[in-house]
Amino acid sequence: MKGVILHGGHGTRLRPLTHTGPKQLIPVANKPISQHVLEDLVEAGVNDVAIVLGDIYPEKVKEYYGDGSAFGARITYIFQPEPKGIAHAVSLCEGFVGGSPFVVYLGDNLLKGGIRDFALKFERSDADAMILLCEVKNPERFGVAKFDGKRLIGLVEKPKEPPSNYALTGIYFFKPIIFEMIRQLKPSWRGELEITEAIQMLIDKGYKVEYDFVRGWWKDTGTPEDILEANRLVLDEMEAKIEGNVEDEASIQGRVVIEKGCKVKRGALIRGPAIIGGGSVIDSSVYIGPYTSVGRHVTIRRGEIENSIIMDYCTIDVNDRIVDSLIAPYSTIISNTSKPTGKRFILGERSHVEI
């Protein structure tokens, strides 16, 4: 089985973070979202992977993943010059896939427990396609499955009146017959080739389309709030590990990961679940609260931080609380006041804030 990671899209709901890189490289628990996806594929035995690049800094994706060998994969890069839909992106992979079954995994999705069991199920079946579904509270935001009893009879894209509460997760298993269906598609009202329409065509033409349900959580990381929730979910699964230098009288409480090369000075308090990246310095007057990811080579001299993602090479020196925030790499936040109040930020790369 081969793998396809879709790494395109403009990420408009995540600006300004996506002004300087693709949304799939935003870190969750100190790993890019698409790295979690790639590791899922490799864990499932899918090592031959195509990454479909969009026009938002594709060179950054190539620079990060290289040929894939550092991640146990062989990566082929395929360029999608403009966002014409998931089905169009999949169609570009026909030469890469050849006659093999393959799995398509949206690069901004996260799934607890990975896809190993689903991949095995599909490989052992005679199905032409298999979709993964998750029960959600707001199905109108997603592609939704329609059933007749237990039989899948259709898919509806973002319906005003959903026929069920089961959303497509953005993980699809296909045999190469899907390319024939895509060739027959016409652009939707959005000007895109819809993968839901291609799968519907399989169903209508009598091909075997199976489904299964994810057994843990699934997260589509399309908004800042989604990314922070994904960060909380992933941190909740992590085990404590102290590899850096924690001075005496520094307090580490709960499940905290301190990476190699990190220094936590005496008097600092870190309350998990949290992760502190290698090369970072947490000074003595700092409090880092639950569900916070601090990237690599970050310096935090003062302040309280909770439920936030602080990316690489940031500097924070505030007499204040920072909460529910996404701080892009190389940003600086400096406080010029003495009275602490809670602050929430979504900062793009190389921002500088004085408060």
CATH number of 2-234: 3.90.550.10
Please report where in the chains the tokens 């909740």 appear, as a residue: 236
Give percent above pLDDT 90 in the chain: 66
Confidence (pLDDT) at 10 = 65
Between the alpha carbon of residue 15 and those of residues 198, 222, 251, 308, the distances in Å are 31, 11, 36, 17
The predicted model gives 17-43 an average pLDDT of 89
- CATH 3.90.550.10 range(s) for the chain read 2-234
Give me the amino acid identity at 90. V
The predicted model gives 123-152 an average pLDDT of 90
- CATH 2.160.10.10 range(s) for the chain read 240-354
Q: Is the pLDDT of residue 6 over 90?
A: yes
Specify the CATH superfamily of domain 240-354. Hexapeptide repeat proteins (2.160.10.10)
Confidence (pLDDT) at 187 = 86
The whole-angstrom separation of Cα 116 and Cα 202 is 24
Lowest mean pLDDT among 164-173, 199-208, 330-339: 330-339
Confidence (pLDDT) at 296 = 96
The predicted model gives 202-209 an average pLDDT of 94
Give me the amino acid identity at 24. Q
Q: Is the pLDDT of residue 202 over 70?
A: yes
The predicted model gives 165-178 an average pLDDT of 94
Residues 6+ apart with CB under 8 A from 117: none
Give me the amino acid identity at 307. N
Confidence of residue 260 (pLDDT cuts 50, 70, 90): very high
Give percent above pLDDT 70 in the chain: 92
